[in-house]
Amino acid sequence: MRILILYSLFLFLSGFGSATFAQTLHPLLSDIPDNTAKDLGPYACSSPQGDNGVCSGITDFSGFTYDPYRQQMLMFGGGHATTYRDDVDVFHFDTLTWQPAYTPTPCSQMNPSNFDADKRAWISTGHPGARHTYDLLVATTNTKEFLLLSNGFGNGHCEQLGTYPGGGRVGHYNPDTKKWTFGPNSNPPDSWSKLGSAEFDPQSGLVVIVDQHTLWTYDPVNRAKTKRLEHNAQNLGYANNLVYFPPNGNMYYIARGNPTLVFEINLDRTNWSKSTVTRMNDITGMIPSTQESGFAYDPYNKIIGGGIQDGKFYAFDPIGKSWKVKTMNTKPTGSSIGTLRYHAIDFDPVNNVFIFMSGPYLNVHTWAYRYANTVPTGAPVAPVNLNLNIQ
């Protein structure tokens, strides 16, 4: 119980809010040295019945997000010219493996008569259609749900529609009941771009969505969206990443390119229209050149890290306004990390590791990476070298 209280305090200080759930400190993760990535093995998956796409294509232009209440990663993606699997894939920290939460809709059922165009979901199963999700997946701490904020599009190997017609609504997934329900329309011009980026804001309990021209909020409790700001930021780009930074309460938009740009999102939560989106021009260090990629917050080291290319890990310090680049060591020694699979990265504070996926299309691996085994000042936590199930 004492460890649970201390860890709940840590979650609160880190911006996750308090939580009461079983937590797994895995022995295979506890011995990872600083700046080392441990190979957790090839990614195993299955395609929907009748789909001739590659099931690992779920990561194409897509990613996953950390569920702090259940200590698991939740992934949804695919679509367009890749796999049409519409399952939520779950990374479990007790087995260190991915397992689908439910059976995907068979290809034989992906036809016009079984398609709810308003929800962009299959009627027979209730699953939203596969789609690129970019950085538009969010886990909420007030409703304890997994949100799909990306509307679907494109033709693929499996579905028989040619293109996705109709609307598209915010998807709400309950990881306990394994059921989807749907909120308001998520299509432009009455909503954000499908290439925007989203992050849960624990201070307001709202989801913040930033695209090339606008800042929106989405209330997961009342299922209401609000356009808050038309910003004039230059070179914001698209299909990038938005990360909440608890030490100052701001969000940071990491924009791929040469050089990688960073925009500071200063949120005025009493008057959202006074929020600002400002490019940071005084950044020092080894500023990287990155492709479409993912980033996540490490509360132990207070850095925003990711953007992995050719085995190199990129870390941004918003307080020091600087970049660091590290060539990652591997376990086993000599393993090849390669490049991050799009947005497939997030951080587990229980084990103090980034979980990410990388590698070529037909040889995707899952990795656990420890930047440094440090503890935030003033935030007591359970030791990461214990194998405990905390109740």
Res. 111 pLDDT band, cuts 50 70 90: confident
Q: How far apart are CA 343 and CA 102, in angstroms?
A: 22
Q: Which residues contact 110 (CB under 8 A, 6 or more apart)?
A: 84, 122, 129, 158, 159, 160, 161
**At the top level of CATH, which class does the domain 2-390 belong to?**
mainly beta
Res. 106 pLDDT band, cuts 50 70 90: very high
Res. 195 pLDDT band, cuts 50 70 90: very high
Average pLDDT value for residue range 290-305: 96
Across the chain, mean pLDDT equals: 88
Looking at residue 21, its pLDDT comes to 55
Say how many C-beta atoms besides its own lie within 10 A of residue 13's C-beta. Answer: 17
Say how many C-beta atoms besides its own lie within 10 A of residue 328's C-beta. Answer: 17
Nearest to 228 by CA among 214, 242, 207, 238: 214
Is 2's pLDDT higher than 60? no
Average pLDDT value for residue range 6-15: 47
Is pLDDT larger for residue 382 or for residue 60? Answer: 60
Nearest to 61 by CA among 239, 211, 217, 192: 239
Contact 140, 171 (CB under 8 A): no
Q: How far apart are CA 313 and CA 143, in angstroms?
A: 33
Average pLDDT value for residue range 92-121: 93
Contact 171, 186 (CB under 8 A): no
Average pLDDT value for residue range 162-188: 88
Res. 164 pLDDT band, cuts 50 70 90: low
When mean pLDDT is compared across 115-119, 153-157, 354-358, the lowest value belongs to 153-157
Is 301's pLDDT higher than 60? yes
Among 68-72, 153-157, 167-171, 233-237, the range with the most confident prediction by mean pLDDT is 68-72
Percentage, residues of the chain above pLDDT 70:
87
What are the boundaries of each domain within the chain?
2-390
Q: Kindly report the backbone phi and psi dihedral angles of residue 243, in degrees, each rounded to the nearest multiple of 5, phi listed first.
A: -130, 130
Which residues partner with 225 through β-bridges?
Answer: 218
Q: Which residues contact 287 (CB under 8 A, 6 or more apart)?
A: 259, 260, 323
Looking at residue 383, its pLDDT comes to 34
Is 7's pLDDT higher than 50? no
Quick one: DSSP state of residue 28?
A: H
Among 19-23, 173-177, 288-292, the range with the most confident prediction by mean pLDDT is 173-177
Convert the pLDDT of each residue in 35-92 to its tens digit: 999 999 999 999 888 887 789 999 999 999 999 999 999 999 998 878 889 999 999 9
